[in-house]
Amino acid sequence: MHSVTTLLLLYAIDLFVPGPETLLIVSMAGGSKAAGYGVALGSSFMTLIYKVVAVMGFVVVINVLPGVFVTLQYLSVVFFIAFAVLLLRRAFINPEIQKKVKVVTFSKAFSLGLVCGLINPFALAATMTLLALTMEKGMNVMEALVLALTMAAMNLTWVLFVAWSGSTALARVIVHPVALKVLSLLASCAFLGYAIRFALGMQ
């Protein structure tokens, strides 16, 4: 059944697979907690913008151009499967983990986080994909805004946790090569399975 719960569950799985932003936060936090928080907040701010743009754009598309909705769903299935394949590939390569970096100020780290988030338009496409595969037509603007803020809050909570963990053993576990491989493999299976199940249900 397609629902907000399904969307948030898939988004949570995506969050828990460490990507470039998570690795950057850990490397910065290893040198300075303030730098780690700066990067986390900067990237989260861009995530908030992307989420609002994606969700509101989705609402406009399905309400103004309802005929596009089915096309968007088919494209999203392809995107989701491609994403699953990329994660699967990542599970079998050796990730490059950044070492501790030079300590920088909070403001510089925040700017770095903004740039890191800005050059990740994948976040926009991923959100549109999740929406197309999990939501039904008829979502209104207020529901869309609440959903965008919820996703942004989930992201903020996660990156702040990563920054808080800093250079501790917990942070090293989060970005450990073995953990990256296992999480990538599990997420790939989950996304691939959902995409195939959704595609079969569209027949």
Q: How many CA atoms lie within 13 A of 67 on its CB side?
A: 0
Q: Taking residues 18-43, report their average pLDDT.
A: 82
The pLDDT of residue 138 is: 62
Q: From CA 47, how far away is CA 160, in angstroms rounded? A: 13
Structure tokens at 29: 């936090």
- Cα 14 to Cα 82, 105, 150: the distances in Å are 14, 29, 15
Is residue 123 predicted with pLDDT exceeding 70?
no
Residue 151: C-alpha distances to residues 5, 43, 48, 76, 102 (Å) = 11, 14, 8, 19, 31
Q: Which of 16-25, 34-43, 81-90, 186-195 has the highest mean pLDDT?
A: 34-43
CA 61, 66, 67, 70 torsion: positive or negative? positive
pLDDT in tens, 103-115: 578 888 898 888 8
Across 30-39, 46-55, 101-110, 155-164, which has the greatest mean pLDDT? 155-164
| Contacts (Cβ under 8 Å, ≥6 apart) of 98 | 23, 24, 26, 27
Confidence of residue 1 (pLDDT cuts 50, 70, 90): very low
Q: What angle do CA 26, 32, 33 make, to 5 degrees?
A: 70
Task: Say which DSSP state 36 is in.
Answer: H
Can you list the alpha helix ranges (DSSP code H) found in the chain?
4-16, 20-31, 33-64, 68-90, 106-118, 122-134, 141-165, 169-174, 177-201
Q: What is the pTM of this model?
A: 0.78
* Residue from 183, 187, 181, 188 nearest 95 by CA: 181
Name residue, tokens 């919820």. Answer: 150
CA distance 200 to 195: 9
138: region left, alpha or beta (phi > 0 left; psi from -120 to 50 alpha): left
